[in-house]
Amino acid sequence: MTAQTTSATSELSVDVLVVGWGKGGKTLAATLGAAGTRVAMVEQFDQMHGGTCINIGCVPTKTLVHDAEQRREDDDAQQFWARAVSRRDTVVSTMREVNHHMLADLDAVTLIDGRARFTAERTVEVTGGEDVLMVTAPVVIVNTGATPVRPDLAGIDAPRVHDSTSLQHVDPLPGRLVVIGAGPVGLEFASMFAGYGADVTVVNRRERLLPGEDEEVAAGVTDVLEDADVRILHSASAERIEDGPDAATVVVRRDGDELRLEAEAVLLATGRRPATEDLGLETAGIDVDARGAIVVDEHLRTSAPGVYAIGDVHGGQQETYLSLDDFRIVLSQLQGDGQRTTTDRVAVPTTTFLSPPLAAVGLTRDEALAAGHEVLVAIQKVASIKAMPRPKTVGDPRGLVMFVVDARSDQILGARLLHVDAQEVINLVALAMRTGTTATQLKNGIWIHPSSAESLNETLGKLAPVTA
């Protein structure tokens, strides 16, 4: 069975209206639609069915990261890149189709392609071509995600300047890439393109990478990138971009000097902001903050009755799995006891997919000390951990492991894992933090051999006190 599709219909009334096909929105629409609730899903672009993660974000970029790690020195860089992009597109196309049918095959769900804008409380006008559709519902979910920030920089409209979406299809593979910005997206792409053979330079306006992390972690990430021949310019700012016949030139100011960096491609990786522009939020009485993020309470309710905001559009950490948890919170409001809130979230992990990845959860050492904890810390380089053969067996023993533990309670306060499989091991650490599992219990755990989790046995046995 196929969902209804609307084009010429002028009015539609449903039980729940979801604007934006992201992780939380599509899961909510599928769950409610399967139970018979009449749901309308509005998505501006047909190539975004399924949301950012599977189409232009997590899935395609991590597919490209994986393939970059498989390239050998004698592989032709251009051919290898072309094959990787083709595989990326196949993965995305397959997942998009699955996600489309996740809603399209539900009779209670109506799919609408078009641009939505509020015209009143819980009423949106959807335009697609010459068609206009007015959709009303007692419950509205805003799930429009985030868009790349475009800095006020002369020359950013040049054809060789990309964001994280367009760079995934750059053709040919640039021999030289300049990355403006050293956040997670910038560092992931720098690591990835270095893996494909590009000469990469990162323009970092701060004095070091990852200023919110402890110095040892930032130094470990710097070592990993420099080992991959990524050049990092600290305390540097891009002033303008000049387009030329064969390359773009990024003009950079550093320590009072002007540097001119030529590159076949430039990546703007200066952050993402909530996608709330021209949604007509003020008409619906929906408040936003100074960055344009929709203001919500702990139940994800906006200032407009019956309207919720989920995912990146309400600001904060931009993670697909938090959008999924947003779905659980709203579902609790609509069909449950309404008790689930954002305050329930404890020890939420993150990963920056370098090669190898950096995974993090909880407090840094400096944050723990500042909070008044009596702190135990263990730091080991992966290459020196005897009871961690997994990275060595796969040929990448780079990185480090760092734990911060409360000396009095033996509770884990935070961890930073920079190594092969870090994105998996961090989930175990986060679960330990949520459930009150102690550092001693993790240290004495029985873990698969060989695995990266075995680092817990050795590293947590090296905890030592530190002071501010």
User: For every residue of the chain, which 3-state class applies, written as one string?
Assistant: CCCEECCCCCEEECCEEEECCCHHHHHHHHHHHHCCCCEEEEECCHHHCCCHHHHCCHHHHHHHHHHHHHCCCCCCHHHHHHHHHHHHHHHHHHHHHHHHHHHHCCCCEEEEECEEEEEECCEEEEEECCEEEEEECCEEEECCCEEECCCCCECCCCCCEECCCHHHHCCCCCCEEEEECCCHHHHHHHHHHHHCCCEEEEECCCCCCCCCCCHHHHHHHHHHHHHCCCEEECCEEEEEEEECCCCEEEEEEECCEEEEEEECEEEECCCEEECCCCCCCCCCCCCECCCCCECCCCCCECCCCCEEECHHHHCCCCCHHHHHHHHHHHHHHHHCCCCCCHHHCCCCCEEECCCCCEEEEECCHHHHHHCCCCEEEEEEEHHHCCCCCHHHHCCCCCCEEEEEEECCCCEEEEEEEECCCHHHHHHHHHHHHHHCCEHHHHHCCCCCCCCHHHHHHHHHHHCEEECC
**Overall average pLDDT of the 162-172 stretch:** 97
Residue range(s) occupied by CATH 3.30.390.30 in the chain: 350-466
Mean pLDDT, the chain, whole residue set? 95
Is the pLDDT at 4 greater than 70, yes or no?
no
The CATH classification of domain 161-270, taken from the options 3.50.50.60, 3.40.50.2300, 3.20.20.80, 3.90.1300.10: 3.50.50.60
CA–CA gap between residue 226 and residue 230 (Å, rounded): 5
pLDDT digits (tens, 9 = 90+) for 224-263: 999 999 999 999 999 999 999 999 999 999 999 999 999 9
For residue 299, indicate whether it is catalytic: no
At residue 142 the predicted structure's pLDDT band, cuts being 50, 70 and 90, is very high
Q: Residue written as tokens 């870090």?
A: 422
pLDDT digits (tens, 9 = 90+) for 316-370: 888 999 999 999 999 999 999 999 999 999 999 999 999 999 999 999 999 999 9
Of 100, 101, 299, 449, the active-site residue reads 449
Supply the pLDDT for residue 128: 86
CA–CA gap between residue 238 and residue 180 (Å, rounded): 7
Is the pLDDT at 6 greater than 50, yes or no?
no
**Overall average pLDDT of the 414-420 stretch:** 98
The CATH classification of domain 350-466, taken from the options 3.30.1200.10, 2.40.70.10, 3.30.390.30, 3.40.1360.10: 3.30.390.30
**Overall average pLDDT of the 392-397 stretch:** 96
Supply the pLDDT for residue 9: 54
Residue range(s) occupied by CATH 3.50.50.60 in the chain: 4-146+273-344, 161-270
3-state secondary structure of 251: strand
Helices (H), 179-263: 184-195, 215-227
DSSP annotation string for 190-211: HHHHHHTT-EEEEE-SSSSS-T
The CATH number of 4-146+273-344 is: 3.50.50.60
pLDDT digits (tens, 9 = 90+) for 287-308: 999 999 999 999 999 999 999 9
